[in-house]
Copies of this chain bind each other. A is one copy, B any other.
Amino acid sequence: MQKIALIGCGVVGQGLLKILRDKEEFLRDRYGFEIQLVAVSDKMKGSLMAENGIPLASFIDHLEAKKNIEEFKVDGATYGLDPLETIKRTSADTIVEVSFTDVKTGEPASTYFREAFKAGKNVATTNKGPSALFHRELAKLAEENGAFFKYEGTVMSGTPIFSLLDYALAGNKVTGVRGILNGTTNFILCKMESEGMPYQEALEMAQKLGYAEADPTADVEGFDAMAKVLILSNVVLGADLKAPDVDRKGISQITSQDIEQAAAEKKRYKLIGTTRIEGGKIVASVKPVKLPLSDPLAGVSGATNALTFETDLMGPVTIQGAGAGQIETGYSVLIDLLTIHRETTCFHDHGG
C-alpha cells in the first residue's frame, strides 16, 4: 500500500484521482498495486490531511461539485495546511506534485521536492520547472535519501519516454534526442501547410480551440519546448544545461512562403527540440527545421508529440502519442507510482 499526498488539485490531479478510482480493481489484481490518498493541499482550493485515508469516490464528487477541499469532512482530519506544511507533516510515502509550473524559477515546486527528499519521501511530478532548472541537484538529493524522483509527465504527458528508456530500451546508450515537444506550434504549422492559413490566423484558431494561451509566447517562441529540451539534456544525457545553453528560436517568423517553399522541396517545417552529444559536448536547440518527408517526425500531425531517441544498439527509435490532456497527464503520474511500486515491492507481472 503506497500512501500518497497530492499537492495541487486541478485538472491533472483530478485526472489522476479518477484513474485511481476507475482502475482500482484492475491495478490491484494485475499489479498488486494499492494506494491510499492521505493528504491533499491546493493553494486555491484548500487542504485536508487524513492519515486513515480520504475516500476517493466521494472526494472526486465533492471536487466536481466545485466545493472547497476544506468542506470535505473526514474524521480526525487536519485542515488548513499549506503544501509545505503538508509535505512536512504527512505520513505519505510519495508526494504527487501537480501544482503550478514556473519554468523561470522552478518554484515553489523545487522547495517542496527538497523538503520531501530530506524526509525520505518519493516525488512523482508533472512539473517541468524543477527538472528543467535543478535536475542534477534534485536527483542527487533524492538518491542520498533513498527516495525516488519520478517525472514521466514533464516532457510528453503520459506518452512514456523515461520509462521507455529505463525499461524497454535498457542496455542502450542514448547519444541524442530529437522531438516535436509542443503540440500548439505543431498544430499551427500543420494548419499553415494543409490549409494554406497565414501564421496569425492559425494561431487564432489554436487559441479558439484552447491549444494556445491568450499570450502565446511560451509556445510560439519555443520556451515550453526549451524547458523540455533542458529536461531531456539533463535527465537522458546527464548534462547540467541552463536556459542560455539552448539555442532557441520560435515559429512566429515562419511565413506562408516558407511553408510553400519547403513543400516544393518535398520538405516540411516542424519545431524541433534537439539535444545530442557532439564531440564530447552536449549541444541543444529548439528551432524550426525543414524535415524531409521521410523523417519519422515529419508525419506527426496536429497537437501530437513525438520523440526520436538515437541509440547505439537500436539506431533511431521513435515514440508518438498525446502530449497533453487531463487523463493522459494524470496517467503519467500513474506510470511513476507503478514504477515506485515495482521497484520497492519487486512484484512479478507475468503478463496478461
Contact = CB atoms under 8 A, between A and B. Distances in A.
A299 B302 contact: no
A322 B238 CA distance: 26
Contact of A317 (B235, B300, B320): B320
Contact of A316 (B316, B321, B335): B321
Nearest to A315: B322
15 contacts: A23-B171, A142-B350, A159-B314, A162-B351, A167-B167, A169-B335, A170-B349, A171-B334, A171-B338, A235-B351, A238-B352, A299-B299, A299-B300, A313-B327, A317-B321
A348 interface: yes
Nearest to A294: B301
A302 B315 CA distance: 15
The 4 A-B residue pairs with the shortest CB-CB distance in the complex, in nearest-first order: A299-B299, A346-B346, A160-B168, A167-B167
Contacts of A171: 19, 23, 26-27, 31, 331, 334-335, 338
- Quick one: copies of this chain in the complex? 2
Interface string A189-224: 000000000000000000000000000000000000
A166 interface: yes
B319 A318 contact: yes
B173 A169 contact: no
Contacts of A317: 159-160, 319-322
Contacts of A296: 299-300, 304, 320
A288 interface: no
A106 B7 CA distance: 53
Contacts of A143: 350
Nearest to A31: B170
